[in-house]
Amino acid sequence: MEAVVVCDPNGRILLYNSAARRLFHHADALALGQSLYRLCSRPPIEHTLRLLRHRALKKNQGNEETGARFVCSTVDGAMLLNCHVDRIASDFIQGCVFAFTFEDITGKISEQGRQGHLLEKMVQSLRRPLTNLSAAAENLKTYPDMAPEVRSEFQEIILRESEELTRLFAELARESAGITSRQWPLFDVNSADLIGCLAHRSMAQDEVRVVMTGVPLWLQADSHSLMLVLERFVRLVRESRRVSEMDVETLLGDRRVYIDITWPGEPLPQAEIDAVLENALPDSVGSMTVAEVLERHGSEVWSQKHRRPGYAILRIPVPDSPRQWEEPAQRLPERPEFYDFSLIEGGQELGELANQPLADLPYVVFDTETTGLHPSAGDEILSIAAVRVENGRLLSGERFEQLIRPHRPIPKSSLFFLDITEEMLRGEPQIEEVLPKFRSFVGDAVLVAHNGTFDLNFIQSVAEKAGVRFSNPLLDTLLLSMVADEEATDFTLANIGEQLGVNVTGGRTIMDDCYVTAQIFLKLLDLLAERGITTLGGAIAACERVAVTKRL
């Protein structure tokens, strides 16, 4: 029996079966009215639901597909799930419900897959006999050692059989390729899910800390076998380079996604990598080798020096997913720009932090979504997202993201600019509950945001009511970009990203904006260093000077 969970459009559980209880190990989070996102990772599910809603709008244009398949992980990273979701019309629940079926593919071994793999091996084993048979026929023809009539008859038989075997071999090879390709389809996978699961397993099995860095990307993979390959190479790096911690990052290449494993030290010799390629993966479907898994992904693997001095990488390119390039179903209009420099001008007490090098400080890059522009007029925060940046790395595995239910309805004039609805916020916590959790996530880090005084002003307006205080220094990428380029006139996030070579896609979420801001911030640190601004005190002083000029 398949595990089935039925949810409303906001991911709230309406129904589930006994197989779902077994799959999720009778978790308390699997209960009526609870959020599916307490069980499964949010991004791939939200993306798929948005895609299905868009398809429903296009139904009158001939698009009748109501389902989609994807791969996600459980929130603890312990399981990878093969998921299928169908959109079902309903007269009672906001027009539709979504029926999810889940299959645990973390440790799946398919008997049919093994048969396909054995068939492929059999095909490979025929190559040498066929070559020998052809050679024997040629030798008989070249060196006549028997009576001419016998030799001629025998020769014709061997040649004829050789041609027939060659034909059968080609046919069998095509059939084997078809079986193999059907057995190991590539599904859309979010790299955050894949790397998160890798981190969980590497710590549990090998006591290796895998740190997820960079911006999560969509790729296509047989996620289970690819994860086993990544595990094997993480183990190789640990044993060869004696390291217990390494970064894993995804980067966009030429229609490929590069999975980079990074560590301090020298690259791995190709001979060590080649030795791993022949290792069998007993837990994979068909007990494939590492090389066979890479071949299924059209991939190879190599090691080289990292752009960061003193570090090396092992790189595995895999196919990217079309989702990487999808435009949103409906592009929201740009929200009016509103700059607020009052908090910056008030000065920031830094103490000993003033002389700390910018390169050595921990940062939390954050953003908010609000009902309007003025907290003093009753506008409220609807969501907060944040991600850590340390040692020049965007730590995408350490992020904060939370929707917030406001105390009063969202003004209709604001809904025009938002990708958030009243329905999405039902049952979500209010700001008094969320802000202490966000404060705990921030810790002693320096805050970073684009037009950050606007966001911090909203937070400060409710901080006392929530029982917290934010005294962390703030660096504003809007002001830092003015410091780095005095001639520039367009300081929107999209334009700054374009100028600095940071990819800014359309239809961004608040978390995507955090990733973009973090990448911009890291590039701005390099530009500030070129101008001799290398300490926190120096950066804030430069921002204060720009803020004063801006208000004049």
Strand 311-319 relative to strand 363-370, pairing: unpaired
In a domain, 336, yes or no: no
Q: If we measure between CA atoms, which residue out of 137, 69, 152, 142 comes closest to residue 105?
A: 69
- Mean confidence (pLDDT) of the chain: 83
117 shares a domain with 90: no
Distance CA 198, CA 221 (A): 14
CATH number of residue 416's parent domain: 3.30.420.10
356 shares a domain with 243: no
In a domain, 335, yes or no: no
197 shares a domain with 171: no
Structural domain boundaries, residue 283: 188-325
Lowest mean pLDDT among 74-83, 234-243, 319-328, 516-525: 319-328
477 shares a domain with 346: yes
157 shares a domain with 95: no
Per-residue pLDDT band at 193 (split at 50, 70, 90):
confident
CB-CB contact of 198 with 249 (8 Å): no
194 shares a domain with 310: yes
350 shares a domain with 300: no
In a domain, 334, yes or no: no
CATH number of residue 273's parent domain: 3.30.565.10
Residues in the chain: 552
489 shares a domain with 353: yes
pLDDT in tens, 442-473: 999 999 999 898 899 999 999 999 999 999 99
Distance CA 104, CA 317 (A): 25
**Residue 253: other Cβ atoms inside 10 A:** 12
The DSSP annotation for 175-233 comes to HHHHHHHHHS--EEEEHHHHHHHHHHHHHHHH--EEEEES---EEEE-HHHHHHHHHHH
Q: Of the residues 53, 79, 104, which one is the last residue of a structural domain? A: 104
User: Averaging pLDDT over each range in 46-60, 192-206, 352-366, which range is the top one?
Assistant: 352-366
The first and second tokens of residue 155, run together, are 């020769």
In a domain, 441, yes or no: yes
pLDDT in tens, 381-413: 999 999 999 999 999 989 999 999 999 888 877
pLDDT in tens, 110-140: 444 455 554 565 666 666 566 666 666 776 7
Distance CA 417, CA 331 (A): 10
117 shares a domain with 100: no
pLDDT in tens, 8-56: 988 999 999 999 999 998 888 999 999 999 999 887 888 778 767 756 6
Q: What pLDDT is stored for residue 110 in this prediction?
A: 42
Stronger pLDDT, 359 or 185, i.e. the higher one: 359
Which own/partner pairs from 277-285 qualify as long-range (CB within 8 Å, at least 24 positions apart)?
A: 277/301, 279/232, 281/225, 281/228, 281/229, 281/232, 283/107, 283/109, 283/228, 284/109, 284/224, 284/225, 284/228, 285/108, 285/109, 285/110, 285/113, 285/114, 285/117, 285/183, 285/184, 285/222, 285/224, 285/225
Inform me whether the pLDDT recorded for 506 exceeds 70: no
In a domain, 476, yes or no: yes
Q: What is the mean pLDDT of residues 236-245?
A: 96
Total count of domains within the chain: 4
3-state helix, strand, coil in the chain (%, to 5): 45, 20, 30
CB-CB contact of 543 with 476 (8 Å): yes
Residue listed under structure tokens 């791939």: 44
pLDDT in tens, 318-344: 999 988 777 655 555 555 555 555 545
Lowest mean pLDDT among 91-100, 183-192, 330-339: 330-339
119 shares a domain with 217: no
In a domain, 337, yes or no: no
Q: Of the residues 162, 183, 204, which one is the last residue of a structural domain? A: 183
User: Averaging pLDDT over each range in 79-88, 302-311, 541-550, which range is the top one?
Assistant: 302-311
Q: What pLDDT is stored for residue 514 in this prediction?
A: 94
**Burial class of residue 392 (count of CB atoms within 10 Å of its CB; 0-12, 13-18, 19+):** exposed
CATH number of residue 98's parent domain: 3.30.450.20
Per-residue pLDDT band at 273 (split at 50, 70, 90):
very high
Q: What pLDDT is stored for residue 113 in this prediction?
A: 47
In a domain, 330, yes or no: no
Residue listed under structure tokens 């052809």: 134
CATH number of residue 129's parent domain: 1.10.287
Q: What are the angstrom distances between the C-alpha of 382 and each of 44, 242, 435, 466?
A: 21, 46, 12, 15
135 shares a domain with 83: no
Per-residue pLDDT band at 508 (split at 50, 70, 90):
low
Chain centroid to CA 408: how far? 35
Read off the amino acid at residue 451: N
385 shares a domain with 358: yes
In a domain, 214, yes or no: yes
Q: Of the residues 104, 121, 147, which one is the last residue of a structural domain? A: 104
pTM: 0.72
